[in-house]
Amino acid sequence: MMSLYGSTGKCEIHATMKLVDLLKVMELLGRSAIAVFLLFLVASRADYCEKPPFNAYLYCNYSASITERVKDLLSRLTVLEKMSQTATNASAIERLDIPAYDWWSECLHGLAQSPGVFFENDLTSATSFPQVIGLGATFNMSLVLAMGQVISTEARAFANNGQSGLTFFAPNINIYRDPRWGRGQETPGEDPYLTSQYAANFVKGIQEGSEDRRYLKAIATCKHYAAYNLERYLDVRRVNFNAIVSDQDLEETYLPAFKACVQEGQVGSIMCSYNAINGVPNCANDFINNKIARDTWGFEGYIVSDCGAILDIQYKHNYTSDTNITVADALKGGCDLNCGHFYEKYMEDAFDNSTITEEDIDKSLTRLFTSRMRLGMFDPPEIQPFRQYSVKDVNTPEAQDLALNAAREGIVLLQNKGSVLPLDIVKHSNIAAIGPNADATHIMQGNYHGIAPYLISPLQGFSNLGINATYQIGCPVACNDTEGFPDAVKAVQGVDAVIAVIGLNNTQEGESHDRTSIALPGHQEDLLLELKKNAAKGTPLIVVVMSGGSVDLTGVKDIADAILWAGYPGQSGGQAIAEVIYGKVNPSGRLPVTFYPASYINEIPYTNMSMRVPPGRSYKFYTGTPVFPFGFGLSYTTFEIKWKDTSTAKDYYLKTTHDEVVNYEATVTNSGSRPGSVSVLAFITSSVPGAPMKELFAFKKIYLEPTESVDVSFVAEPKVFTTVDIYGIRKIRPGAYKIIIGDDDHHIKHNVFISA
């Protein structure tokens, strides 16, 4: 396979073949071969700007500014050629020696199979990190940054080998609004601040990496913009869902992560989502795309539609009734690139009818070709960074260690009665490993994954520690009978410990389908009862929950001695689970979502987008009693937190006009007997009417040996003291505020009073 950038041979397939011919070829090849075929086109014609007369054109002059180069390139294109560049599989322009390019590659938590990425030749796998919800549970943004850097390095290696594009549809930073959402597993969780920090760090890891600021390592796409968190629930579909969102919720909950993506991460791309907001489909929504993202936040990249979303404007939302108007509304509404072929099919008619102008098209093409130039696609290989990456930079020992550490740090200890954990590797060397996920492999990757170099199941993880484990499934995830119970019961006879690995999988939660229940599916809870009843008295029952979303564990709390939540922990997930259970690693994860009782979904309509509708959504507004709260997580050691300076105990009195930055300094001590990491969370509460019950504004993860102490500081900038009113206006308002650092069991507080 030839390089994405430089041709080393001749192409037998003409790179400018018409769409109709391309579709015929696709029919012959079959859908599974489409991605390979398109990448072949890209790789086969990637020698542009290297030979005359093209190398004399200004757009090939790498010493000129990108602005000048793009302007020159557009001046040489016909209108029809420009139109051919508005689909994600952009056509080649042979007369200017510009090859085809597929904009659609995936890397949610590692390079993933997609139209732009495929695994073959010397590159048959890539590092598979935990699913994003587990990464949110780490509360470790330096880890997220490092993961992004590994992914982009492997992406460049694949691209240099002609097996990947460099524009990626990740990260998913929608707020996990409701536990029923099937794609919540793809997000960092329910909190806007946590999600914002994840977004900024992931994007930096993907895009940055060179002192030469002309070039991006790859381009990330923050999706799905905006207020998208419903797939298919009963008779409601994402493709025609009209999200009724208040100005308050939009500013307070649904937009902050995207703002951080743009302003802190400097992201190169945004994906507009399937849904509409207040009657306007997002891919035709001038308000959110142009007025907010571009004019207010300063976004300079391109906006790509979710796949098929332009068509949905007309045929699902019924927002338009004419293809010319649909093209115009989407293009002028800010969507530059159509994942699909609606633009390609109808843009010419819209132009001929003067519904759009060449200037409209040029705005989008300027953003698209600027992005390609920033990726180095028009410049000699020898002057570019990132061109040296190859197969040796994929699946490195360092990358594998990072994936394992990410899995370790994302595991949350929810319950530990009588300090039954960690198990002793000698006293508990003979165990029963029971449950639908006890021997999970691919399940541990969640969705949007690639091919991992290996997958270590929990069963294999125990074996790697020298533990003798007898395995029985007992009950599949959604089992509707108890046929497997007798074998499971037999397996627990005479063992030192029972470890049940239960939860969900992608048949329960995933793209295109939501959950209609948040209880444990099937007879899993019944299985746990049988295991507890039939194991010898005193035999510890450890329950590990694999899931993306929260599940009601009320009954499990009564049955199990200890409970761990592992998300979908990636290629080394089973190893991490075993190490945590046996104390090789001290658990340090914290829940990135609220675990609600099963009755929650009967109290609040899924389609209601309000965060405050009773009984409230997320830890910020939920007035009920959670099964486990957001931010909860136990350890095998104990941590104490105190103010570093006792003067902090004095109250602060500020004005609403204040621009003072308050620095809260605390000392954290490991007061237990085991080394471990702890995420210290900082919240703010206020008496302002309508304000959240509490709100995360900072967090830090630190590692401490026994008796070791470290000072940490949390900066409360004026924006920390802002609240959003019903009109969507964020500002500092008079009231009593309280800073809370730490968790419910051990925290410190500080009062701030703000007057008009």
Active site (catalytic) residues:
306
Measured CA to CA, the distance from residue 174 to residue 245 in angstroms comes to: 14
Q: Which residues of 137-171 are buried (b: 16+ CB within 10 A; e: fewer)?
A: bbbbbebbbbbbbbbbbbbbbbbbbbbbbbbbbbb
Q: Which two tokens stand for residue 350?
A: 């819209």
Instruction: Name the strand (E) or helix (H) holding 678.
Output: strand 676-686
Spatial CA neighbour of 339 closest among 102, 107, 43: 102
Backbone φ, ψ for residue 373 (5° rounding): -70, -35
Note whether 281 and 226 are within 8 A (CB).
no
Coil, strand, or helix at residue 331?
A: helix
β-pair partners for 415: 563
The widest CA-to-CA distance across the chain, in whole angstroms, is 84
Residue 172 one-letter amino acid: N
Instruction: Name the strand (E) or helix (H) holding 28.
Output: helix 19-29
Spatial CA neighbour of 147 closest among 570, 499, 708, 683: 570
What stretches of 77-177 show up as alpha helix (H) in DSSP?
79-83, 132-138, 141-160
Residue 629 one-letter amino acid: P
Sheet of 242-243, strands arranged across: 242-243, 276-277, 280-281
| CA distances in angstroms from 142 to 149, 404, 432, listed in the order given | 11, 15, 37
Q: How many CB atoms lie within 10 A of CB 348?
A: 14
CA 699 to chain CA centroid, Å, is 19
Coil, strand, or helix at residue 231?
A: coil
β-pair partners for 709: 669
CA angle 623, 627, 630 (to 5 degrees): 70
Instruction: Name the strand (E) or helix (H) holding 525.
Output: helix 524-534
Residue 377 one-letter amino acid: M
Residue 268 one-letter amino acid: G
Q: Going by C-beta distance under 8 Å and a sequence separation of 6 or more, which residues neighbour residue 400?
A: 127, 453, 571, 572
Note whether 445 and 186 are within 8 A (CB).
no
Specify burial of residue 474 (Cβ count, 10 A radius: 0-12, 13-18, 19+): buried
Spatial CA neighbour of 580 closest among 631, 621, 535, 633: 633
Instruction: Name the strand (E) or helix (H) holding 44.
Output: helix 34-44
Q: Going by C-beta distance under 8 Å and a sequence separation of 6 or more, which residues neighbour residue 515?
A: 179, 180, 181, 182, 508, 509, 549
Residue 537 one-letter amino acid: K
Q: Going by C-beta distance under 8 Å and a sequence separation of 6 or more, which residues neighbour residue 691?
A: 685, 723, 735
